[in-house]
Amino acid sequence: MSVHIRLLNENDPVIISKAFQEQGWGRSPEQYLHYLAEQQNGERVTLVAELNGEFAGYVNVLWNSSYPSFREQGIPEINDFNVLMKFQRQGIGSRLMDRAEEVILERTDVAGIGVGVFSDYGKAQVLYAHRGYIPDGHGVYKHDHYIQPGEETIMDDDVVLYLTKKLKATQ
């Protein structure tokens, strides 16, 4: 098994979109063209994983998070982390996370990540906990505010708990 991690390139948007559509996830090539443009502008780094030459997953590092606490503290955000279902539980996600943390460590020693709070995100929740990510202490966030006690909300992909990790140079 040969896993290769590299930067997103101009050939990837159509390949990635097709791979996710084949597993029933609607992802347009335009999304990845946008990622490529932001990578070229220095706003993000998009890392692509290939297993034996086949696209397997990707992750982004956002240098300026849209999450207010990270943005105010200058914490880069690991974002939109996805591994194709057929390649999950083979260490590819861990390899992508390792590389994302190495990229962040070139600039700062704290990484941030957000994770959904319902069961669809269970694997990610466990992975992040095992990697040493802890809640940032601000509670659950949705769209533009922290969910307050007694507030009702619809549980969807936009309800997020943000986590941070202190990175070490010898990871």
> Of the given ranges (29-33, 98-102, 106-110, 147-151), which has the lowest mean pLDDT?
29-33
Beta-carbon contacts of residue 52 (< 8 Å; ≥ 6 apart)? 1, 2
The predicted model scores a pTM of 0.90
Q: Is 44 helix (H, G, I), strand (E, B) or coil?
A: strand
Closest CA to 5 of 78, 62, 55: 55
Pairwise CA distance, residues 17 & 19, whole Å: 6
Of the pLDDT bands very low, low, confident and very high (cuts 50, 70, 90), residue 159 is: very high
Closest CA to 16 of 50, 51, 55, 52: 55
Pairwise CA distance, residues 112 & 140, whole Å: 14
pLDDT at 170 over 70: no
Q: Which two tokens stand for residue 33?
A: 């063209």
4-61, pLDDT tens digit by residue? 999 999 999 999 999 988 887 877 888 999 999 999 999 999 999 999 989 999 999 9
